[in-house]
Structure 1
């Protein structure tokens, strides 16, 4: 019985058939060859689980809409978390084809992502932590010009010695670095052949030979086919038989005893013929041979029959009984595996059914969306057709807009005193603005740099828009000089909003209630542009420098040279326009427009949000949104408001601040609709501002009646005495003289049209205005 126990102990040393194979892939096109080789190599050997290991670089920065990167410490936590989740999802999508390859072979597979900069140490740590004994990697391509070790060689050196490393190139095994157990087992087989069991020195057919070669930094080996398990059993039993016969020859025991007795020395000799647990190093090829125990039972029976003459009958019977017992145990395990396989198939079926259900739902939603899009397109086409018909009817009733007044170059030069520096009132990237008097009317002349071709396009664009549309808060075009790209506008006495907010010329500050009104006026003009028919207009360069103020601080948007008319065939407010060269002013340009080149009305909304924040703070636009947002979060908004504007109402100012921040969101989809959300909110704020302005006006002294111009009905800025003896505002009476020869007050003919400056009245008006402010 001791011989049977020895065999059972030896069989118990064989490893279980369950195996985990780690496949390191980087997601390129060569990775599929590595996965395919591993499937062909390890799937036939029994129950195998694959672990797809991918190492991606550490995330140290987050991209911004400007196209650059910022460090994690400078970015918000929610932005960092969203970006990490997006990177992880993209990596998983990249690895799905390899997971599907394993699923097609009905192999359990797991995807493991590791975030590390050192690929070698990351793979080595994962193998060491989970004690995996099989690792498959792609062999790095080397050339005569490459220096140092390849990546696969460095991985092979760093992987723990208990794990075998297989390097695959182009779907074929390139090199192998065996584990310690495989190395010991291979060396043991070289020195322990069946001659030690059969006492036949010439017998070498059962030896397990291993051939080693050194390939650079990686070691590869090749196993020859070892004898099948029945042959090994026959050799072992033959050795036991020879030992027993030798013992029986030396002893005087009866031949009919039929009992196998082994003393301690014999037991040790038999055990020495087999590798011990620590020396065995049983390889996976032996494990696969053990899995074939049931299939090899027939050959084992025949081999056992050939040795029955040499062994005692009781020994053969015991061994057959033990082997039958092992066969039953293997049968039970096989049934368990079959049950698990059925469970896995059932789960896979359920997942497939769920996938089909989700797919059908997605197709249904897609179909509904296409139907809705078709209905919407049809409705838009119908609305566009109706708008065109309406325009045709209006044009038929009232006729086309009047043509602009044309000025000669000589008139422009004369009116600006040959472009005198004293008359220069503004200068930008696209032209210079001069104050002048044309046909007895104070005006502003913008001279574009016509030597550049794109400046002429801007001139034509602004001329085309301003001659077709009219709005109380859009700058009025008086005329143009087409020969030299000059535009003549109405003169705005209080300059630009930027000059007043930043106090560039020591001008009086704008009260907070006037700033509320200005925000509403700018928003109403933008809504008018975005909803113009048949072509919506996007300004593209909205900023305080392009918002002008008249003598009553009424605001008007100017500088439409960069405006763009969207396609009339797609006149929806959400329509975008592809611009290969984004233009505008830094800090006011839509981040998505700057990144993608797609322009839409929401681009003006972003710039308008920055204008609101500047109306509140009177600060430059750089990093202004971050400053206001931080102040709101810290509960100290009042610290960033312009103190020169007066006592800001707390609740309404907080509402306006949040409205400006929502308009200046980085993503276009997060910005509110200008017509449906922004303008109604500004309407409510304007009502509060109007009440505050009325209270402030009632507390100020009322100007005398003789301060008012009889024509304009407003306080005069430049009072002049006409031939009829009455005092008028100069620009008003000069405009009157262009069409009339009679007095506005007496309706009698005037002897002349001479005007005399009324300095006494001017001094009184200036004193009153100083007390007012």
Structure 2
């Protein structure tokens, strides 16, 4: 009996030892698995760090290569035959009567503008204030690039005096779109046909800027005050010389570029650009959208997008149209407004592409306008401008 009891106890102790060994082995396996997982995680982190380091090296090499390419382009531009005319400060002072107040036709954020004659041609001379002018080297480089830009919907840079920050532009006889929309000086009402044409011309000029070589240009301050009209009411984008050059790698890949501070006029500034400092082509699309709404409403930009959205929802859109125009094609104007509202989406990625969506629709509306185009005699090549804003 005692022998049997001893055997039972011995077996129990053996079972306990075996269970303890199994538990110890299980714990060891778990620890081993944890160790292997930690090693794999560390190796993965190392691989990611190596990839990130390689990406940085590649990005730095790409940036260096692009900088060298830009320098080559600028060097070629400096040696090319397409050059701006360099005026001496003495010539400009004589033409403007030493920047006389009687010659002054405007004042903007960058400085005053004077109307005068140079080389028997009526011109506008913009003088950059010392606190707004860029460094001489950068100023010179931008002039070298802009002197090669030619487009019928951009104000032409005729010359400059880089040493004193003077830019010489063609004179635009009918002032700004802002003046014409709000009929300053009691000027005639812009007919809807002309408004549709102007909108398409602005879009055409803006797309040209966005496709400029060697580097795309983002205007940053697109508004009716910076759209000027010539004697035939052809619209041209102005202040291009102060636009921001965006590296092509940025423009083509992520379509945005970080700026240290937002520039532009409050109601027209892309909200994303204002909040993040990230500048892109669609920053201009937002400004264009606000301006398109003004073209058909002749209203202040403050709260305009919300006002038009609410009117469309309530079925009172026709009441938002400029009442001075008696014959609006309401259905087409509504399509125009909806396109403009898409351009003013708060999220940049939700705004339509200028080249693929916005401009084709604006061109369609321009074609419609031209089919019924009967401009009043008031708009037959006249000089309505008393001042040219900047």
Q: What TM-score results when the alignment is normalised by the length of structure 1?
A: 0.38
> What is the alpha-carbon distance in structure 2 between the residues aligned to residue 426 and residue 469 of structure 1?
24
Shift of 1:607: 0.2
Who is 1:597 aligned against?
277
Give the stretch that moved more between structures: 585-594 or 445-454.
445-454
Matches within 5 A, 1:434-453: 434-450=114-130
What secondary structure is seen at the aligned counterpart in 1 of 2:105? strand
> What is the alpha-carbon distance in structure 2 between the residues aligned to residue 715 and residue 509 of structure 1?
15
> What is the alpha-carbon distance in structure 2 between the residues aligned to residue 644 and residue 538 of structure 1?
33
> What is the alpha-carbon distance in structure 2 between the residues aligned to residue 574 and residue 618 of structure 1?
35
Who is 1:3 aligned against?
none
8 A contact 2:193–2:370 mirrored in 1:
yes
- Decide which of 636, 643, 647 is 2:327's aligned counterpart: 647
Q: Per the alignment, do residues 542 and 523 of structure 1 end up closer, same or farther by CA in structure 2, a change over 3 Å counting?
A: same
8 A contact 1:582–1:597 mirrored in 2:
yes
What secondary structure is seen at the aligned counterpart in 2 of 1:492? coil
Output one character per residue of 1:702-742: Cα deviation in whole Å (capped at 9) or x when no partner: xxxxxxxxxxxx9687xxxxxxxxxxxxxxxxxxxxxxxxx
Who is 1:535 aligned against?
215
Shift of 1:683: 1.4
> What is the alpha-carbon distance in structure 2 between the residues aligned to residue 574 and residue 529 of structure 1?
18
8 A contact 2:232–2:382 mirrored in 1:
no
Say whether residues 1:610 and 2:290 are aligned partners: yes
Say which structure, 1 or 2, has more relative contact order (CA 8 Å, 6+ apart).
2
Shift of 1:400: 3.0
Say whether residues 1:566 and 2:249 are aligned partners: no
8 A contact 1:450–1:456 mirrored in 2:
no
Q: Count residues in correspondence.
A: 315
Q: Per the alignment, do residues 656 and 715 of structure 1 end up closer, same or farther by CA in structure 2, a change over 3 Å counting?
A: closer
Q: Per the alignment, do residues 615 and 403 of structure 1 end up closer, same or farther by CA in structure 2, a change over 3 Å counting?
A: same
Q: Per the alignment, do residues 598 and 457 of structure 1 end up closer, same or farther by CA in structure 2, a change over 3 Å counting?
A: farther
Q: Per the alignment, do residues 700 and 541 of structure 1 end up closer, same or farther by CA in structure 2, a change over 3 Å counting?
A: closer
What secondary structure is seen at the aligned counterpart in 2 of 1:643? coil
Matches within 5 A, 1:74-153: none
> What is the alpha-carbon distance in structure 1 between the residues aligned to residue 320 and residue 135 of structure 2?
39
Output one character per residue of 1:304-359: Cα deviation in whole Å (capped at 9) or x when no partner: xxxxxxxxxxxxxxxxxxxxxxxxxxxxxxxxxxxxxxxxxxxxxxxxxxxxxxxx
Who is 1:674 aligned against?
354
> What is the alpha-carbon distance in structure 2 between the residues aligned to residue 678 and residue 700 of structure 1?
31
Output one character per residue of 1:243-269: Cα deviation in whole Å (capped at 9) or x when no partner: xxxxxxxxxxxxxxxxxxxxxxxxxxx
Output one character per residue of 1:153-202: Cα deviation in whole Å (capped at 9) or x when no partner: xxxxxxxxxxxxxxxxxxxxxxxxxxxxxxxxxxxxxxxxxxxxxxxxxx
Shift of 1:448: 0.8
Who is 1:578 aligned against?
258
Say whether residues 1:663 and 2:343 are aligned partners: yes
8 A contact 1:415–1:438 mirrored in 2:
yes
Q: Per the alignment, do residues 553 and 668 of structure 1 end up closer, same or farther by CA in structure 2, a change over 3 Å counting?
A: same
> What is the alpha-carbon distance in structure 2 between the residues aligned to residue 496 and residue 546 of structure 1?
7
Say whether residues 1:484 and 2:164 are aligned partners: yes
Question: Could you say which structure has the larger radius of gyration?
Answer: 1
> What is the alpha-carbon distance in structure 2 between the residues aligned to residue 455 and residue 692 of structure 1?
50
> What is the alpha-carbon distance in structure 2 between the residues aligned to residue 456 and residue 427 of structure 1?
22
> What is the alpha-carbon distance in structure 1 between the residues aligned to residue 275 and residue 135 of structure 2?
24
> What is the alpha-carbon distance in structure 2 between the residues aligned to residue 424 and residue 515 of structure 1?
29
Q: Per the alignment, do residues 565 and 573 of structure 1 end up closer, same or farther by CA in structure 2, a change over 3 Å counting?
A: farther
What secondary structure is seen at the aligned counterpart in 2 of 1:587? helix
Who is 1:690 aligned against?
370
Say whether residues 1:587 and 2:246 are aligned partners: no
> What is the alpha-carbon distance in structure 2 between the residues aligned to residue 483 and residue 498 of structure 1?
32
Output one character per residue of 1:63-118: Cα deviation in whole Å (capped at 9) or x when no partner: xxxxxxxxxxxxxxxxxxxxxxxxxxxxxxxxxxxxxxxxxxxxxxxxxxxxxxxx
Say whether residues 1:505 and 2:196 are aligned partners: no
Shift of 1:700: 6.3
Matches within 5 A, 1:334-483: 400-450=80-130, 454=134, 459-460=139-140, 463-483=143-163
Structure in which a larger fraction of residues adopt helix: 2
> What is the alpha-carbon distance in structure 2 between the residues aligned to residue 530 and residue 592 of structure 1?
18
In structure 1, the gaps of 5 or more residues are 1-373, 702-713, 718-773
Who is 2:316 aligned against?
636
What secondary structure is seen at the aligned counterpart in 1 of 2:299? coil
